[in-house]
Structure formats: structure tokens, C-alpha cells
């Protein structure tokens, strides 16, 4: 009985603490600068939709270009390979000349962008062709450090692709009516060796990340504690036979290399091949999933808006991504209400626990969709799991904190809402292993840890389940953050 009363007392105490945080957050909404400081420190779990090259800030691209004596094309305002002749100058000049540097930063990002002759969509996607030969794989440490600074603990970076030799194999093999035959041709032509070379690329990225962050000497630094996984990207604008070889390579890679946890499709969804071949590409994913059933799939789908494509182009991408494409998560999902029978689709996504990676800043600058026009509140109303992500934090000149701030202020969210999305960002991640939670209401933890996280059963469970380990760590971070908000730890008013 005494234990019951004590438990009741603890629950009441926790409820009181949560109410105090809600009150504090309601006050902070009136002061965005203070709100930013609050959200910057708040634990954020994972960023599940993050393109490696788009996450790098222009300043870093320019620095690396200068160090390696690459060139800046002063007309195109892009980094290009040597020789630095005609309109091109040594990139070191962009480190010494503020006018050139500023023009280049604006060209490599959405900074100072104004809608005009070039749409936000076109300016955004054009930036990726302007990074030149700078290898963004050498810059993963920057992203991990920025994540750690914002109290994030997990990243899934879209970073590897099958352009180049893998697409070359597809071009040679063609696409037979019987895809088993094409698959055999690709294997005979050495697809597996190309998959192995992608693993070599992961080795290189991981080794540079660890060296730059000093993880060997200091493995428990906040940045080294950020768990990084990679997501393989299929370039959807390529011809169909090359998309097919890319898909097979991606599935084989995820099967053989545990650091690569899923496949995704990238490049503009409104592009020529993306639109024309969408159904065919989803059928190809369906085929590959039958060959490699354990591979996780997340798909950009519905990153479209009325006017960008004809109306019928808005009606089926998300539905096909979840049905044919077996997507466990959807990236963006902005045009959901233009799908055929959106209510049934939303209910299906809720029932099948298909989560949506929401990228508010990106949708604003690329599609011009924001505020009431964005379906974020609709997904929440239907109970579809959502989490916030950055998409391209370097190009957008944003970071995850700003995504939380935008969501909170635009949609009048509570701390409870934020906490749920943060928990979603690990629960719906592709980190391996079982969940720390019994179910997705986050009310009770796995029986292995129900008595104590320090007990031997729980320690063993956490050691063997990376996802649960990240989630237990997140709860610890929440406890510390929330404790820091209690009156005793605040500076005394004078
Ligand atoms: Zn994206």
C-alpha cells in the first residue's frame, strides 16, 4: 500500500512538472529568441531526412575548394574543377574577396533568395550542380557536430548513389520483359563488385568523420555519440534500365552493409523521368523487395504542389509508394489531399504505422507550401506518425531547431506534441534492434527494462538493441533537460 501511495505521488509529481513545462513553453511562444534557446537545448532524437550534400553549408564547400585549389566560375557562381582559366579564378579568392564570397554563398544556398525569373524550386535544385568536385563525404563530421550541438543523437544521411558505374551496368544490360533475366545479366557483369565499392565509400566517410571529430581518443564526446547511418539513393531521373540497376545495387548494399540502413529515391519528383516512369519505378521496388525482403524503404513521395505538375500527377504517388513501393516512411507527403481518396490513404498509413518525414522549411522554399496550406496538421489529426527533419539544412540555411520552432509557432503545438515527434524520430528510425517501448504510445517500456535501466536484464537488452539503446538515452536526455527547467535550477530573479 505504501508503495502504491509512493507511486501515485511520483506520477502526480511528474504530471506537475510537465504542466510547468507546458506553461513555460506557452510563455516562450511570445518570445521567439528565447524559444529558440529552449528548443536548441531540447533533446531531438534523430534527423531522418537529411541529404548529405545539401546539409553542408556553402562556407564549408568554399573552404574545401580553396584548400584544394579548385576554381570558382565567376559567371555561373559555382565551384568547378581546374584549370582556372577564362571566367574562372582560384577558389582561394573567395576566401579573400567578400563580394565574390557573398555572391557565391547566395548561389550555393537559399540565402537572400527572392522569387523572380528563377523559381525557388529551380534555384534550390540548381545548387547541387554548383558544389563541383568537392567531396561532401569528407564533411560528415560537420553534420554530426551540428547535430550534437542541438542535442540530437541519431542521423540517417542520404549519401550513396548508383550513378556512374552502376548505372553504366544498367545501360549495357538494358531492361528485359523478364526482370529475373536482367538481374542475372547485371550480376554476371559484376554488380556485386560495385556494391562492394560503395561499402568502401562508407569506410572512407566513416574514417574521415571519426578522425575529424577525434573519436578514437574521445569516443564519448557529444559529436562522437551521434549515431550515424546512411541511406542509399536511387537517382530517379535516370533512364529506366539504369534505375533498375541502381535499385538492385541499393538493395544488395543494404543487405550486405549494416551501416546502410535503407534505400530512398532522390532528384526532383516533378522531373521528366520521375513523372513518366513513376509507376514503373515503384514496380521495380516491389520486385526488388521480393528478392531482398528485409530491406527498409523510405521514399520521397508527394513532394509536389498544384501547378508544378498537371493535376493528375498529384493523385497517386503516395499511394503507390506505400503499396507498390513498400515504403515504411514517406518523405514530404505534401500533396496528400490531392491523392485519390486521401481519407482512406491517411487511415491506411495510420493503421500500418507508415510515418511521414516532415520538412517544413524545404516545402516553403521549394514548393511555396506553408502554414495552413501544409498538410502537417491533417496527418496529425488522422493519427499518422510524423517527425520533423531538415531535408537540406545547408542549402536552406536552417537546422533542426528551426524546424521545431517553425512547427511550434505555426501550428500552436505543446511540449507533449514535440516530445511525441522526437520519440517518433527514433521509434520509426531504421536503427537496428528492438524498441525500448512496448508499443508506440510510449506509455510503458520493454519488460526487460521495466524494473530499472541499471538491472542486468536491461543492460543486456540495451547492449543488443541499438534502437532501444538510443531510445533509453533519449529518455535520459529528456530527464536532464526537464530537470534543468525546474525553478531550483533557474537563475534567481533580482
Ligand atoms: Zn529530401
pLDDT score recorded for residue 374: 98
CA–centroid distance, 269 to ligand 1, in Å, is: 10
Q: Are residues 285 and 420 in the same domain?
A: yes
d(CA 388, CA 68): 36
Q: Are residues 264 and 331 in the same domain?
A: yes
Nearest to 172 by CA among 186, 188, 158, 184: 186
Is 20 domain-assigned? no
Q: Rounded to 5 degrees, what angle do the CA atoms 403, 408, 413 make?
A: 140
CA–centroid distance, 171 to ligand 1, in Å, is: 26
Whether this model's pTM surpasses 0.75: yes
d(CA 301, CA 395): 20
- Residue 80 in this model has a pLDDT that exceeds 60: yes
Per the DSSP assignment, residues forming a β-bridge with 329 are 298, 355
Quickly tell me which residue has 574521415 as its cell: 208
pLDDT score recorded for residue 263: 98
pLDDT score recorded for residue 230: 98
Please enumerate in sequence order all residues whose Cβ is within 8 A of that of 314, keeping only pairs 6 or more positions apart, or say none: 302, 304, 306, 335, 338, 339
Q: For residue 471, what are the CA distances in angstroms to 261, 445, 466?
A: 17, 10, 9
216 φ, ψ (degrees, to nearest 5)? -65, -45
CA–centroid distance, 419 to ligand 1, in Å, is: 23
Share of the chain above pLDDT 90, in %: 85
Is 14 domain-assigned? no
Q: Are residues 302 and 394 in the same domain?
A: yes
Of 12-21, 89-98, 147-156, which has the strongest mean pLDDT?
Answer: 147-156
Is 6 domain-assigned? no
CA–centroid distance, 264 to ligand 1, in Å, is: 9
Which of 103-117, 280-294, 343-357, 468-482 is the least confident region?
Answer: 103-117
Number of domains in the chain: 3
CA–centroid distance, 270 to ligand 1, in Å, is: 13
pLDDT score recorded for residue 7: 52
> Residue 486 — pLDDT band, cuts 50, 70, 90?
confident
Q: Do 248 and 284 touch, CB atoms closer than 8 A?
A: no
pLDDT score recorded for residue 6: 55
- Residue 494 in this model has a pLDDT that exceeds 80: no
Average pLDDT, the chain: 93
What stretch of H or E contains 460?
A: helix 456-464
CA–centroid distance, 110 to ligand 1, in Å, is: 15
When comparing pLDDT for 107 and 317, which is higher?
A: 317
pLDDT score recorded for residue 126: 84
Across 456-481, average pLDDT: 97
Across 357-367, average pLDDT: 95
CA–centroid distance, 223 to ligand 1, in Å, is: 23
- Tens-digit pLDDT profile for residues 27-40: 999 999 999 999 99
CA–centroid distance, 460 to ligand 1, in Å, is: 36
Q: Are residues 332 and 201 in the same domain?
A: yes
pLDDT score recorded for residue 110: 85
CA–centroid distance, 116 to ligand 1, in Å, is: 23
Strands annotated E in 333-412: 355-358, 386-388
Q: Within a 10 A sphere around the Cβ of 208, how many other Cβ atoms?
A: 16
Across 126-154, average pLDDT: 90
pLDDT score recorded for residue 1: 52
Q: Are residues 418 and 442 in the same domain?
A: no
CA–centroid distance, 359 to ligand 1, in Å, is: 8
Across 294-312, average pLDDT: 95
pLDDT score recorded for residue 213: 96
- Residue 2 in this model has a pLDDT that exceeds 60: no
pLDDT score recorded for residue 491: 58
Is 494 domain-assigned? no
Across 284-308, average pLDDT: 97
Q: Are residues 319 and 390 in the same domain?
A: yes
Per-residue buried b or exposed e for 38-68, using 16+ beta carbons within 10 Å of the residue's own CB: bbbbbbbbbbbbbbbbbbbbbbbbbbbbbee
C-alpha cell read off for 235: 537517382
Q: Are residues 383 and 475 in the same domain?
A: no
- Tens-digit pLDDT profile for residues 201-227: 999 999 999 999 999 999 999 999 999
CA–centroid distance, 157 to ligand 1, in Å, is: 10
- Residue 490 in this model has a pLDDT that exceeds 70: no
pLDDT score recorded for residue 336: 98
Per the DSSP assignment, residues forming a β-bridge with 386 are 356
CATH of residue 295: 3.20.20.140
- Tens-digit pLDDT profile for residues 321-352: 999 999 999 999 999 999 999 999 999 999 99
End-to-end CA distance of the chain: 44
CA–centroid distance, 31 to ligand 1, in Å, is: 30
- Residue 11 in this model has a pLDDT that exceeds 70: no
Q: Are residues 166 and 97 in the same domain?
A: no
pLDDT score recorded for residue 17: 82
Per the DSSP assignment, residues forming a β-bridge with 234 are 265
| Boundary of a domain, candidates 427, 458, 477 | 427
pLDDT score recorded for residue 18: 87
- Tens-digit pLDDT profile for residues 366-408: 999 999 999 999 999 999 999 999 999 999 999 999 999 999 9
CA–centroid distance, 331 to ligand 1, in Å, is: 7
Is 365 domain-assigned? yes
- Residue 10 in this model has a pLDDT that exceeds 80: no
> Residue 112 — pLDDT band, cuts 50, 70, 90?
confident
Q: Are residues 360 and 453 in the same domain?
A: no
> Residue 12 — pLDDT band, cuts 50, 70, 90?
low
Q: Are residues 147 and 279 in the same domain?
A: yes
CA–centroid distance, 398 to ligand 1, in Å, is: 14
Alpha carbon 330 to chain centroid distance? Answer: 11
Q: Are residues 389 and 404 in the same domain?
A: yes
d(CA 141, CA 11): 41
Q: Are residues 377 and 394 in the same domain?
A: yes
Is 482 domain-assigned? yes
CA–centroid distance, 454 to ligand 1, in Å, is: 39
Q: Rounded to 5 degrees, what angle do the CA atoms 139, 144, 145 make?
A: 95
d(CA 185, CA 334): 38
The pairing of strands 296-301 and 329-332 is parallel
CA–centroid distance, 29 to ligand 1, in Å, is: 28
Is 128 domain-assigned? no
Structural domain for 468, as ranges = 434-486
d(CA 465, CA 444): 17
d(CA 258, CA 466): 12
Which of 5-9, 47-51, 461-465 is the least confident region?
Answer: 5-9
pLDDT score recorded for residue 488: 65
Task: Provide the 8-state DSSP code for 364.
Answer: I
Is 243 domain-assigned? yes
Amino acid at each position: 500500500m505504501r508503495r502504491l501511495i509512493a507511486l501515485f505521488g511520483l506520477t502526480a509529481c511528474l504530471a506537475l512538472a510537465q504542466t510547468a513545462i507546458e506553461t513555460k513553453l506557452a510563455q516562450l511562444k511570445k518570445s521567439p529568441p528565447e524559444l529558440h534557446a529552449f528548443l536548441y537545448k531540447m533533446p531531438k532524437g534523430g534527423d531522418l531526412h537529411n541529404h548529405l550534400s545539401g546539409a553542408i553549408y556553402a562556407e564549408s564547400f568554399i573552404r574545401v575548394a580553396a584548400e584544394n585549389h579548385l576554381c570558382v566560375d565567376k559567371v555561373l557562381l559555382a565551384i568547378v574543377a581546374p584549370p582556372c582559366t577564362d571566367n574562372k579564378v582560384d577558389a582561394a579568392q573567395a576566401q579573400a574577396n567578400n563580394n565574390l564570397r557573398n555572391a557565391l554563398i547566395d548561389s550555393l544556398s537559399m540565402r537572400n533568395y527572392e522569387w523572380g525569373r528563377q523559381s525557388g524550386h529551380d534555384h534550390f535544385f540548381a545548387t547541387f550542380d554548383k558544389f563541383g568536385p568537392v567531396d561532401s563525404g569528407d564533411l560528415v563530421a560537420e553534420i554530426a557536430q551540428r547535430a550534437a550541438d542541438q542535442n540530437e543523437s541519431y542521423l540517417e544521411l542520404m549519401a550513396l548513389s548508383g550513378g556512374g558505374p552502376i548505372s553504366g551496368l544498367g545501360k549495357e544490360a538494358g531492361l528485359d520483359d523478364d526482370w529475373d533475366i536482367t538481374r542475372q545479366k547485371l550480376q554476371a557483369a559484376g554488380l556485386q563488385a560495385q556494391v562492394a565499392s560503395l561499402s568502401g565509400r562508407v569506410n572512407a566517410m566513416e574514417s574521415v568523420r571519426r578522425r575529424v571529430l577525434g573519436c578514437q581518443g574521445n569516443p564519448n564526446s557529444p559529436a562522437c555519440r551521434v549515431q550515424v547511418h546512411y541511406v542509399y539513393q536511387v537517382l530517379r531521373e535516370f533512364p529506366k534500365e539504369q534505375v533498375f540497376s541502381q535499385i538492385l545495387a541499393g538493395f544488395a548494399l543494404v543487405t550486405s552493409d549494416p551501416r546502410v540502413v535503407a534505400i530512398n529515391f532522390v532528384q526532383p519528383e516533378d522531373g521528366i523521368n520521375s513523372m513518366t516512369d513513376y509507376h514503373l519505378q515503384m514496380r521495380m521496388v516491389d520486385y526488388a523487395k521480393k528478392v531482398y525482403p528485409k530491406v527498409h524503404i523510405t521514399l520521397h513521395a508527394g513532394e509536389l504542389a498544384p501547378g508544378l505538375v498537371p493535376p493528375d500527377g498529384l493523385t497517386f504517388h503516395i499511394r503507390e509508394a506505400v503499396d507498390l513501393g513498400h515504403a515504411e516512411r514517406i518523405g514530404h507527403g505534401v500533396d496528400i489531399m490531392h491523392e485519390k481518396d486521401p481519407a482512406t490513404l491517411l487511415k491506411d498509413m495510420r493503421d500500418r504505422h507508415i510515418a511521414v518525414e516532415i520538412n517544413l522549411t524545404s516545402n516553403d522554399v521549394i514548393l511555396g507550401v506553408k502554414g495552413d496550406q501544409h498538410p502537417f496538421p491533417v496527418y496529425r489529426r488522422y493519427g499518422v506518425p510524423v517527425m520533423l527533419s531538415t531535408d537540406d539544412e545547408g542549402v536552406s540555411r536552417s537546422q533542426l531547431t528551426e524546424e521545431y520552432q517553425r512547427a511550434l509557432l505555426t501550428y500552436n503545438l505543446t511540449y507533449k506534441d514535440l516530445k511525441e515527434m522526437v520519440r517518433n524520430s527514433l521509434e520509426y528510425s531504421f536503427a537496428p534492434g528492438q524498441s525500448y517501448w512496448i508499443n508506440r504510445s510510449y506509455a510503458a517500456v520493454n519488460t526487460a527494462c521495466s524494473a530499472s535501466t541499471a538491472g542486468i536484464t536491461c543492460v543486456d537488452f540495451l547492449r543488443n538493441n541499438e534502437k532501444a539503446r538510443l531510445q533509453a538515452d533519449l529518455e535520459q536526455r529528456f530527464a536532464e533537460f526537464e530537470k534543468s527547467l525546474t525553478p531550483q535550477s533557474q537563475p534567481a530573479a533580482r
